[in-house]
Every structure is written in structure tokens, then in C-alpha cells.
Chains A and B, each alone.
Chain A
Amino acid sequence: MFLFSRQATRGRGIYGGKTHGCGSKGSGQRQNFMRLGYETGNNPFYLRFPTQNYYKGHHLRLSYTPLCMGKLQRMIDTARLRTDRPVDVSELTATGLFSVKPYEKEGGFMLQDDGIDHFQATVNLEVQWASEAVIAAVERNGGTITVAYYDPGALLAAVDPMAFFRRGVPIPRRMLPPQNLIDYYSDPKNRGYLADPAQVAKERFILAQKYGYALPDIRSSPHKEMLLERKDPRQIFYGLQPGWVVSLKDKLILKPTDPELQQHYAS
């Protein structure tokens, strides 16, 4: 008998009696079940096809939380997200509007170009994927954008820093991207964090020419320091280096003094 809600049951037959959910006769009722996928003798589906390339490498591919520029602008307009600080994964998840699950093979945030026409904020963004139109929209308003890779362990720390600090383990080094992503993050066209900053500056100029806007000069901007704040490729949090332990209870940072450890954690 099917129950539409979790109504209280007293373990009596009236709620699922007679065959008690086992059907009639056959391997089901006799509790001698057929193996999963078995189709009573004919060639089963899971054996019919030798390969399924559709899912090839699915375990290596990451998915990203989509964030469209319109939503980003709305978050800034309603003061949900502050732009006087660099905006990275930690800042975006701290708004409470997103849940990034590294265990589900999610890589972070991906900016989408829905609403770029109304984007007017000057921000220092650090996301995990951005298209060319999005990069143009951010740079046109005098902001900067970087795409950076976070390995699952680093992403877990970045997404919930408080839970990470409560574990009492040293901040790990962020790992480099895997084979299929290293090219993306080294390309100045994508504003990759591993690209040469001189090349990135050149690409900024080229993109401004392509999209037809005057590229604002960041060096003369009042928020110059904030806009040029960047993390080291091995750093997870701004201002905090790998190897440090943060004690929330004592409001202390513990740093290793052993030269071997320091060398290990240094970039």
C-alpha cells in the first residue's frame, strides 16, 4: 500500500499487509533476487554496447556553480556582496546564496553573460571560469577579473573557512590544475592566474579594442590597491600563507619555524 505522507504507522498489516511489499511468487517474494541489470535471459542493456563514450572521463570533469552577471549586480546593489574587498570563492559563499560542494566534483563559480549590459560595478573578481564577454564587461567598468583553479581540498577550505579553521590543521598549499585545465588557466586571454601579467595587460588592451570601449586606467583609480590585490598560485586565503594554523579560540596565528617545513610550504 502506498503512503502519500509519513503518516504514523503501528507496524500493522493494514499499512502494508498481505505480501508486505514483496509482490507475488517469483524471485522477489522468495527473496532470491535477480542481479541488478538482469533481463531474465536476453542480452541486457549494460552488456549490449561495448563502450559508451558519452560518459568517458566524466569522473575527471568538474561542474561549476553558474553565476550570471545580473545576479552579481543585484547582490552588489542590495549590499549582499561588498566590492571594497576582492571577491573570491570565500566572499561569494559567505553571502549564503550559494552552496558549492567539492565532494560532488564542483570546481567553484562560473560567470555567465546574462545581464552584462546592466553590469556597472568596479570589482576585483576571482572565479573559476569566465567567458570573453564577461571579462569585457568587468574590465569596461574599471575592474579586474582572474580565473583561478582550486583543487578539491583547497576548495573545501575556501568555501567554509570557519569549519576549516576549527579543524586545527595547517592551511594547505593549493595544487596546480590538472592536465585538462592547465592550458585554460595559463592563457592570458582567459585572465588565467598562471599567465604572465604582462601578457594579461596586453590582452586587456586587445579586448577593449575588440569590444569597442575605452580601457580605464587602474593605476590612477582610487581603489588601485584593492584591484591589484592577487593571491599567490599556492595561496587559498588573502593574506594567510600555507603552513599557518589559525586558532579561532585564542585569536592567534601559529607559524612554523622549522626551515624544512617553511621550504615545503613556500611557493
Chain B
Amino acid sequence: MLSLRQVSRLGWRTIISPRALHTSPPVSAIGRLPAGTHTIPEGRDQVETSRAEWGYVERLFPPKTVPRPQATPGEVKPSGWVAPSASRDDHPYFVPRNRSHMLPVYLEHKPIISKYRTSVHHVEGDIFALLEELREYLKEQRQPKILNMRAHEPHQRIEVKGQYVAEVREFLLQKGF
């Protein structure tokens, strides 16, 4: 059994930053306030230390990085998540997954305004080739009256006016990205 004083000698600091505390001058009447006292009853400061249950504390540590999925290339998991299978030489372009291992296809939409934009991020290589192939695919799938698309090369992005997330995802999965 250790007392709190003995534990403090182990180097257990209270949570105060090491920098000097900058305090303002106290109110003049503060010296006249009744002083409070707080005593810890006897026996309360005796503590028992243990490392046996430290495993349970380590269980609570959050992971520092996003874990890598364990899947063979092209494997389809029960939730519908597909592992990437394409390599950089397969096509003139390459669309890697984002840091959460998901396809980088996003729908930008401001509520109230009827303005939707589907965008594909992180496009590497010949972005214009991907743009044309995607244009053909979307025309075939949805036959829209107007299809506005553009490739923003410096930002490595392809933007499509409208809601085409499902079709774009399907296209990228077919390519193995």
C-alpha cells in the first residue's frame, strides 16, 4: 500500500503546464474572505497500485492511423466494398483510393439550392482520357439531354454537373480502381 506522497515521488505530476502561470493582481478584498480548509480523512490517501489491468487501458487507446483492409485485389466484401485491383500501368490514368480506402467520388450539394456536382478526386496521369471515357459511359447509362463535365488538371479533379455518383463509382470499379 502506498500513500499519495510516495506515489508523487514516482514522478507523477499533476496536470499543470510547466510554463510560469501568469496571474492578474488579486482583488483587494480577497484577503478578508474566510479561508476554506479541505482535509482528506485518514485512510483515504492510502492507495494500492497495480499494473495487472493495464491491458484493459491499452484496449481504449484509439488507433493512430487508419488500419489497412485485409483483402485480395478485386475482392468484394459483404457490405459491397470492393478492394482495388488495378495497377498504374493498366490505364493511361490512375485513381487511387482516399485515406479511408474508399473511392474518391463526392457529391457536392448546398442544401436548398438545386445545384449538384459530382467530382472525382486524385486523378493521376492522362485526366483528359478518363474524362472522355467517363463522358461516353455516362451518356450510355443515363442519356441526359445535357452533360456538362470538365477536368481540372492542377487539382487532379473531374467534375460533372448533376448527380452521377452511382454511375461514376460503377465505372471506376469496372476499371479496377
CB distance from B45 to the nearest CB of A (A): 9
Is B85 an interface residue, CB under 8 A from the partner?
no
For B101, the chain A residues whose CB sits under 8 A away are: 78
A255 to B47: give the CA distance in the assembly, Å: 6
Is B141 an interface residue, CB under 8 A from the partner?
no
Q: Assuming A120-B78, A167-B15, is B49 touching A253 (CB within 8 A)?
A: yes
A118 to B78: give the CA distance in the assembly, Å: 6
Q: What secondary structure prevails in chain B residues at the interface with A?
A: loop
Contact A250 B11 (CB under 8 A): yes
Is B5 an interface residue, CB under 8 A from the partner?
no
Choose, from B56-64, B105-113, B116-124, B157-165, the stretch at the interface.
B56-64
**Which residue of A70, A94, A248, A254 contacts B62 across the interface (Cβ within 8 Å)?**
A94
Choose, from B22-30, B66-74, B128-136, the stretch at the interface.
B66-74
**Which residue of A237, A256, A257 contacts B60 across the interface (Cβ within 8 Å)?**
A237
The chain A residue sitting closest to B76, CB to CB, is: A77
CB distance from B169 to the nearest CB of A (A): 14
CB distance from A71 to the nearest CB of B (A): 8
Q: Assuming A77-B77, A77-B79, A237-B60, is B49 touching A252 (CB within 8 A)?
A: yes
A167 to B67: give the CA distance in the assembly, Å: 28
Is B10 an interface residue, CB under 8 A from the partner?
yes
Is B114 an interface residue, CB under 8 A from the partner?
no
**Which residue of A85, A120, A246, A257 contacts B57 across the interface (Cβ within 8 Å)?**
A246
Is A104 an interface residue, CB under 8 A from the partner?
no
For B53, the chain A residues whose CB sits under 8 A away are: 239-240, 253
For B71, the chain A residues whose CB sits under 8 A away are: 77
For A27, the chain B residues whose CB sits under 8 A away are: none
For A166, the chain B residues whose CB sits under 8 A away are: 15
Q: Assuming A119-B78, A162-B62, A168-B15, is B51 touching A257 (CB within 8 A)?
A: no
CB distance from A155 to the nearest CB of B (A): 14
Is A57 an interface residue, CB under 8 A from the partner?
no
Interface string of A88-114 (1 = CB under 8 A from B): 001001111000000000000000000
A115 to B78: give the CA distance in the assembly, Å: 10
Is A22 an interface residue, CB under 8 A from the partner?
no
A161 to B61: give the CA distance in the assembly, Å: 8
The chain A residue sitting closest to B44, CB to CB, is: A258
For A249, the chain B residues whose CB sits under 8 A away are: 11-13
The chain B residue sitting closest to A94, CB to CB, is: B62
Contact A237 B62 (CB under 8 A): no
Contact A252 B50 (CB under 8 A): yes
CB distance from A120 to the nearest CB of B (A): 4
For A85, the chain B residues whose CB sits under 8 A away are: 59
**Which residue of B51, B68, B77 contacts A251 across the interface (Cβ within 8 Å)?**
B51
Contact B56 A78 (CB under 8 A): no
Is A3 an interface residue, CB under 8 A from the partner?
no
Listed A/B pairs (24) with beta-carbon separation below 8 Å: A73-B77, A74-B77, A74-B80, A77-B71, A77-B77, A79-B68, A80-B66, A80-B100, A94-B60, A94-B61, A162-B60, A162-B61, A239-B53, A239-B59, A240-B56, A245-B47, A250-B10, A253-B50, A253-B53, A254-B49, A255-B48, A256-B48, A257-B43, A257-B47
